[in-house]
């Protein structure tokens, strides 16, 4: 089996794959000060509680947008799993051409999502990731990543609203029954939910216009993808496991004899 780690600013998502089959997935909070031993102990405990052990894992791959944790998690894999994981970055085969000003600036998570989506859904394609940031990734008809959009994340926007004001409370992110809220909570929920729904629709419309193509499939992933997709019609598919499946694909791509 192989282990895949998707290291984000808020959570670290783990997945175990036995061949093409996902056998276990879970997430833990991203904590910058945690040591490799602390992450390792946590991982071994979760594996054991689900009927697995470190001996079951014979390979791994890490995608990270948190550079301070790269060495920590690589060391954890080497110490506790006895494997040297692949790291998504320069030198790793992806099979995708990055037609942007500086390919090194493109986040590892975006690369992985693009590779997975193109393989799974074809192209041209727009991949939207509702994570700590909301990213729009554009893949053209030649399967090239040609750029995209980075917007604020839904949860981060709500946190900023609450932390930047004295009287606004913390609220759950959910769809209110009406746009016009009748109390503070529904006012805030309306602003976040309908505001981001409109943002997504407008940006997708503008991207398709610039691509001069309306026949572009739109795939969404990330924590809030399902709730937003239920409101708007421009999202064709929701794929919550897109990043982890992309890591699996890249692992096997880089461990297959030419």
Helices of type H across 35-107: 36-49, 70-76
**What span, in angstroms and rounded, lies between the C-alpha atoms of 119 and 253?**
12
User: Kind of pairing, strands 86-87 and 59-64?
Assistant: parallel
Selecting among 6, 109, 129, 239, the annotated active-site residue is 109
* 69 touches 7 (CB < 8 A): yes
DSSP strand E in the chain: where? 2-7, 11-18, 21-29, 59-64, 86-87, 97-98, 125-130, 133-139, 144-152, 217-222, 237-238
To the query of whether residue 109 is one of the catalytic residues in this protein, the response is: yes
Q: Which residues pair with 26 in a beta bridge?
A: 14
Please list the active-site residues: 109
């Amino acid at each position: 089996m192989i282990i895949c780690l998707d290291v984000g600013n808020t959570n670290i998502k783990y997945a175990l794959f036995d061949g093409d089959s996902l056998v276990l997935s879970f997430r833990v909070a991203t904590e910058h000060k945690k040591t490799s031993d602390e992450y390792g102990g946590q991982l071994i405990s979760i594996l054991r509680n689900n009927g697995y052990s470190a001996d079951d894992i014979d390979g791994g791959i890490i995608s990270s947008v948190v550079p301070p944790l790269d060495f920590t998690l690589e060391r954890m894999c080497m110490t506790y799993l006895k494997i040297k994981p692949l790291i998504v970055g320069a030198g790793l085969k992806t099979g995708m051409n990055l037609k942007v000003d500086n390919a090194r600036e493109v986040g590892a998570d975006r690369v992985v999502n693009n590779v997975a989506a193109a393989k799974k859904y074809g192209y041209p394609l727009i991949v939207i990731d509702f994570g700590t940031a909301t990213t729009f990734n554009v893949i053209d008809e030649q399967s090239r990543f040609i750029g995209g959009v980075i917007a604020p994340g839904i949860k981060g926007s709500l946190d900023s609203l609450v932390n930047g004001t004295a009287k606004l409370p913390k609220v759950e992110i959910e769809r209110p029954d009406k746009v016009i809220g009748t109390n503070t909570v529904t006012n805030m929920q309306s602003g976040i939910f309908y505001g981001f729904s409109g943002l997504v629709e407008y940006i997708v419309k503008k991207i398709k216009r610039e691509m001069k193509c309306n026949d572009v499939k739109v795939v969404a992933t990330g924590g809030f993808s399902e709730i937003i997709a239920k409101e708007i019609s421009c999202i064709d598919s929701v794929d919550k496991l897109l990043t982890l499946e992309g890591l699996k694909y890249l692992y096997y791509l880089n461990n297959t004899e030419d």
